[in-house]
Chain A
Amino acid sequence: MTRYIFLRLVDAVPTVLLVLTLVFVAMRILPGDPAVAALGDLATVEQLESFRERMGLNEPLWVQYFTFLGNALTLDFGQSMMTGSEVVDLIAYNLPYTIELTIASVVLGVVFGIPFGIWAATNANQSPDAALRGFSLIGYSIPDFYLGAVLLVVFSLNLGLFPISGGGEGFVDRMHHVFLPALALAFIKAAFLGRLTRAALLEVLGKDYVRTARAKGASERRTIYRHGLRNALLPLTTGLGLTTLAALSGSVAVEMVFNRPGIGKLLISAIAERDYAVIQAGVTVFALFVVAINVLMDLVYAIVDPRIRTK
């Protein structure tokens, strides 16, 4: 097990390097001159030159690449052009809000989606199943930012039950702030997890070992939960990872709707203001997040599945 964790972590290293390289390539090569991109078409030659000097854009590409790698690995992302503050401080301030939102929405999605899926699977082709199908169709179709806007209008603006913007201070206040945005994101998560749980459970309940469990005298309940759901956890783990990633990407638009601090809002504002250093940092943080969640998912998988664990 320890060996597996170690190997998986080692395996993530080239992925991280590849991701950082792609970020570098995307930022330096694709959009043309980053100085023009940052300062706009109207910038003077002097302004452009001073920008290039400051950002190290006059160095040879490979020097820039290793500088970028080194800085990324030591969390040195330079200063924001707009506010002058250290980018790492901006990240450190905003990151907890994004993590909070991501976790809250995944928790809500799990709490609603998995029981819904079990209910549908144990009543396959009956009304609970149809209800799940209807719910997931709508869940898959309604954009989370639109749902967020509706929730904001109804529960915050009209009913005044929830705050209109911001991230909150202290645990209770922060939970109060995070609830509606998390709910907006959780809708599609619940739809996805519900369908996945249903499909996984139905598949598992048709397996030979479930018949074995019944044959040795396990009750229907025990058969479903102890044998069925325990095995359905394997595909669900993958689904949970995907859901977490989807929550992370959905958080960007939802943070905008609810005017909440977070990496997504930071990144989008930086794009609007062409704040080069912040864009680069935001993109890097998101990309590393994705790698980290994938690694975490594999580790959870190893815990759930003895076939991987004992290899």
Chain B
Amino acid sequence: MTGAPLLELHDVSIEFGSPGRGLTVVESVSFAIGAGETVGLVGESGSGKSVTSLAIMRLIPGLVGRVAKGDILFEGKSLLALSEPEMVDVRGREMAMIFQEPMSSLNPVMSIGDQIAEALMLHGWSDRKARHARAVEMLRLVGIPNPEGRFKAYPHEFSGGMRQRVMIAMAVACNPQLLIADEPTTALDVTIQAQVLELMKKVRQETGTAILLISHDLGVIADICKRVVVMYAGRMVEEADIASILRTPAHPYTQGLLKSVPQRGSQSERLYQIAGSVPMAGAIKRGCPFHPRCPMAEARCSDVMPPMFRFADGQRAACWVTAERAGALDTAVVA
């Protein structure tokens, strides 16, 4: 990381329901992404990772939820302070997003070429021919065969994997600094998953965009990301580079997550399961949200939420027990 990070989340809490009395679904999340960096955000469904990404894009409808605390900075400027028209200009141009559901994320009554061209038109490409040329170039970049001829084709004429390629083409058409990908491969077949991940690597290489990849699948994240943020029940529990996470996971939840990933060649008779079930976001109000399921839990865990402690190699994790064992108790990070 050099200079100011591209995107910074400072102690962000997100609340759903009526202001002040709603449910806090994401609490005190802080992390940063540098220019051109690829960061993974991992967690089970309901952990608040998608909500976090929508909050960065400011795509949570005001009646549904809002950032109640903290700030989100893009190139050092607060996104939350922008007016809606200013934010509209940021979306798609500075940062773009692709979604989990390629089958339903494209407008069914608009040709794919027009949808890519629209993204360009919205961000200053006033010349029709230039837009068309750029859209075709993008389709070629993402590997749509016969891009010129397919410009006028509609989404229903494409498979799920092809549609996700179109989504990626649309997202990077304006050369955004940041691409947020929310479970981009989850809805796809395994072989297609690998292709789409390869494509994202290629796009990163050719455009130099930073990527925030959101997934429940640590394997997918390990494939493409250098650094990873782990979320559990609306809380950030660990952050580290991918190698550290895989080698020495610091948080008991991350440890459990790693143990439950099937290992190739492993002879163990049964896959590891984390005991208990994922709590509803905001259901555990006191202490560490993981303590009811945690094999290492102590009395203080159910009482006080641990801050993020610094471990070796820039690894950070929010756990009293492992921090004490690592002698990191006095390294708490104040957000």
Binding site for B on A (CB under 8 A): 207-209, 211-220, 222, 226-227, 230-231, 233-234, 304-307, 310
Interchain CB contact (< 8 A) of B108 among A209, A213, A214, A226: A209
Complex CA–CA separation, A112 to B86 (angstroms): 34
Interchain CB contact (< 8 A) of B104 among A209, A216, A233, A306: A209
B59/A214 in contact, CB under 8 A: yes
A306/B92 in contact, CB under 8 A: no
Query: Can you name the residue of chain A whose Cβ is closest to the Cβ of B173?
Result: A216
Chain A nearest Cβ from B332, distance in angstroms = 36
Complex CA–CA separation, A163 to B57 (angstroms): 59
On chain A, the residues within 8 Å of B85 by CB distance are 219
Q: What are 9 A-B contacts defined by CB distance under 8 Å?
A: A207-B104, A209-B104, A209-B108, A212-B99, A214-B91, A215-B171, A216-B119, A217-B89, A217-B90
Interface majority SS (helix, strand, loop, mixed), chain A: helix
A209/B156 in contact, CB under 8 A: no
On chain A, the residues within 8 Å of B96 by CB distance are 215-216
Chain B nearest Cβ from A310, distance in angstroms = 6
A307/B107 in contact, CB under 8 A: no
B171/A231 in contact, CB under 8 A: no
B89/A208 in contact, CB under 8 A: no
B107/A231 in contact, CB under 8 A: yes
Complex CA–CA separation, A267 to B145 (angstroms): 61
A304/B106 in contact, CB under 8 A: no
Query: Can you name the residue of chain B whose Cβ is closest to the Cβ of A221?
Result: B88
Chain A nearest Cβ from B72, distance in angstroms = 16
Chain A nearest Cβ from B291, distance in angstroms = 35
B93/A208 in contact, CB under 8 A: no
Chain B nearest Cβ from A43, distance in angstroms = 61
Complex CA–CA separation, A234 to B104 (angstroms): 16
On chain B, the residues within 8 Å of A307 by CB distance are 108, 154, 156
On chain A, the residues within 8 Å of B101 by CB distance are 208
Take A214-B91, A218-B118 as given contacts and tell me if A209 and B170 are in contact as well, using a CB distance cutoff of 8 Å.
no
Is residue B190 contacting chain A, with contact meaning CB distance below 8 A? Answer: no
Query: Can you name the residue of chain B whose Cβ is closest to the Cβ of A223?
Result: B88
On chain A, the residues within 8 Å of B198 by CB distance are none
Extra inter-chain contacts (16) besides given A222-B122, A231-B108, CB under 8 Å: A208-B104, A211-B59, A211-B105, A216-B96, A216-B171, A217-B88, A217-B91, A217-B92, A220-B84, A230-B109, A231-B107, A231-B109, A306-B111, A307-B108, A307-B154, A310-B156
Is residue B318 contacting chain A, with contact meaning CB distance below 8 A? Answer: no
9 closest cross-chain pairs (CB), A and B: A217-B92, A216-B92, A208-B104, A217-B91, A216-B119, A215-B97, A209-B107, A306-B154, A208-B105
A208/B109 in contact, CB under 8 A: no
Complex CA–CA separation, A208 to B99 (angstroms): 8
Chain A nearest Cβ from B112, distance in angstroms = 11
Is residue B123 contacting chain A, with contact meaning CB distance below 8 A? Answer: yes
On chain A, the residues within 8 Å of B89 by CB distance are 217
Complex CA–CA separation, A220 to B87 (angstroms): 11
Complex CA–CA separation, A310 to B156 (angstroms): 10
On chain B, the residues within 8 Å of A222 by CB distance are 122
Is residue B303 contacting chain A, with contact meaning CB distance below 8 A? Answer: no
B91/A306 in contact, CB under 8 A: no
On chain B, the residues within 8 Å of A215 by CB distance are 57, 59, 91-92, 96-97, 99, 171
Query: Can you name the residue of chain A whose Cβ is closest to the Cβ of B103?
Result: A208
On chain A, the residues within 8 Å of B88 by CB distance are 217-220
Complex CA–CA separation, A234 to B107 (angstroms): 13
The CB with the most chain B CB atoms within 10 A, among A207, A233, A304, is that of A207
Complex CA–CA separation, A214 to B99 (angstroms): 12
Chain B nearest Cβ from A96, distance in angstroms = 35
Complex CA–CA separation, A219 to B101 (angstroms): 22
Is residue B157 contacting chain A, with contact meaning CB distance below 8 A? Answer: yes
On chain B, the residues within 8 Å of A220 by CB distance are 84, 88
A217/B104 in contact, CB under 8 A: no
- Provide the B197-222 mask, 1 if CB < 8 A to any CB of A, else 0: 00000000000000000000000000
Complex CA–CA separation, A306 to B154 (angstroms): 7
On chain B, the residues within 8 Å of A306 by CB distance are 108-109, 111, 154, 156
B106/A212 in contact, CB under 8 A: yes
Take A208-B99, A307-B154 as given contacts and tell me if A217 and B123 are in contact as well, using a CB distance cutoff of 8 Å.
yes
Complex CA–CA separation, A214 to B111 (angstroms): 17
On chain B, the residues within 8 Å of A211 by CB distance are 59, 99, 105
Complex CA–CA separation, A230 to B92 (angstroms): 21
B91/A216 in contact, CB under 8 A: yes
On chain B, the residues within 8 Å of A231 by CB distance are 107-109
Is residue B167 contacting chain A, with contact meaning CB distance below 8 A? Answer: yes
The CB with the most chain A CB atoms within 10 A, among B88, B106, B123, is that of B88
On chain A, the residues within 8 Å of B92 by CB distance are 215-217
Take A208-B101, A218-B122 as given contacts and tell me if A213 and B154 are in contact as well, using a CB distance cutoff of 8 Å.
no
Complex CA–CA separation, A231 to B101 (angstroms): 18
On chain B, the residues within 8 Å of A216 by CB distance are 91-92, 96, 118-119, 122, 170-171
Chain B positions 60-118 with a Cβ under 8 Å from a chain A Cβ:
84-85, 88-93, 96-97, 99, 101, 104-111, 118
A310/B118 in contact, CB under 8 A: no
Complex CA–CA separation, A33 to B278 (angstroms): 76
Complex CA–CA separation, A220 to B85 (angstroms): 9
Complex CA–CA separation, A219 to B118 (angstroms): 12
A304/B99 in contact, CB under 8 A: no
Query: Can you name the residue of chain A whose Cβ is closest to the Cβ of B106?
Result: A209
Complex CA–CA separation, A255 to B5 (angstroms): 73
On chain A, the residues within 8 Å of B104 by CB distance are 207-209
A212/B105 in contact, CB under 8 A: yes
A217/B105 in contact, CB under 8 A: no
Query: Can you name the residue of chain B whose Cβ is closest to the Cβ of A125?
Result: B63
On chain A, the residues within 8 Å of B109 by CB distance are 230-231, 233-234, 304-306
Chain B nearest Cβ from A46, distance in angstroms = 67
